[in-house]
Copies of this chain bind each other. A is one copy, B any other.
């Protein structure tokens, strides 16, 4: 038990990241039923779709869970209203100013966690009164910070900068990485990439299968002049990389991106032309598993590594 398991009232400090097109009620419920914290990713949902996912979740389990809400989402106030009406216990906010909604959500009984990519933003989130912070490193999939600070460097720096509970994200898919980031000062881990290939993830099967063959070096941070995003290399990525290499500006990149490309890739399975957001650690994925099995694998490896480092080979 630590501050994160107490704050969320969960068994294990393993949080499944809220991921557009991948984490609906099925994945969130499976993770929460296994003792972690499941998150419904509202960033890709219209208000009626979020409503549906909350209803389905509530029918399935009464375990604690969260909704992930990018604060720049156009229908944000409708989402907030839905979240409060459904008494969602925890909200993870990202990509926006944590001052705007934190108190409103807390007054309605929500715990609020804000996702940051730098120590400066972690301090702003703490000052805004959030209950905990997720610090996400450069290796993470999807949208990403400008500073490019990796998880190994970010966690100790954020740990020194804030007092509130700290969750590590970016590059974590195994029990060893969980223990490593907790050694660095995190009190829990947020895991995205490995849960994309969970059986209950709503990612397209072809995307999941593609990820099982991904190798080291197969992702790259792209579109830094627009909104930095880590992508699996494919036809779309190559177009972006070529445009960036010749110095394309934000407008050109926005035009190249167009609309609906993430859905096309991750949800509809167009692996060539779609936008495939995923973390560097995709390189270690080797099978599709139920979420409960992912969690028990992680815990088993975590405990084994915890024992291992007490052995003589680790004493100096």
A164 at the interface (CB under 8 A from B): no
- CB–CB B176/A150 < 8 A: no
Within 8 A of B (CB), among A73-88: none
Q: Give chain A interface residues in 124-183, CB to chain B under 8 Å.
A: 137-139, 146-154, 156-157, 160, 170-172, 174, 176-177, 179-183
Copies in the complex: 2
Instruction: Contacts A1-B313, A179-B183 given; indicate if A150 touches B147 (C-beta within 8 A).
Output: no
The interface-forming segment of A54-62, A104-112, A214-222 is: A214-222
A234 contacts the other chain (CB 8 A): no
Closest B residue by C-beta to A179 = B183
Q: Are B280 and A150 in contact (CB under 8 A)?
A: yes
> Which residues of chain A have a CB within 8 Å of any CB of chain B?
1-2, 5, 11-13, 118-120, 137-139, 146-154, 156-157, 160, 170-172, 174, 176-177, 179-185, 187, 215-217, 220-221, 225, 245-247, 280-281, 283-284, 299, 302-303, 305-306, 309-310, 312-314, 316
B216 near A149 (CB under 8 angstroms)?
Answer: yes
Given the known interface contacts A148-B221, A152-B150, A217-B149, the answer about A182 and B306 at a Cβ–Cβ threshold of 8 Å is: no
A167 to B316, CA, bound (A): 16
Are B139 and A150 neighbours in the complex by a CB distance under 8 Å?
A: yes
**What are the nearest 7 A-B pairs in CB distance?**
A247-B247, A147-B217, A180-B180, A152-B171, A150-B150, A139-B150, A153-B280
CA distance A220 to B13 in the complex (A): 32
Is A150's CB under 8 angstroms from B179's CB? no
15 new A-B pairs (CB below 8 Å) besides A156-B284, A180-B184?
A5-B316, A11-B316, A119-B215, A137-B150, A138-B139, A139-B149, A152-B171, A152-B180, A176-B183, A179-B183, A179-B309, A225-B245, A245-B247, A247-B247, A306-B309
The distance in angstroms between the C-alpha atoms of A246 and B245, with both chains bound, is 9
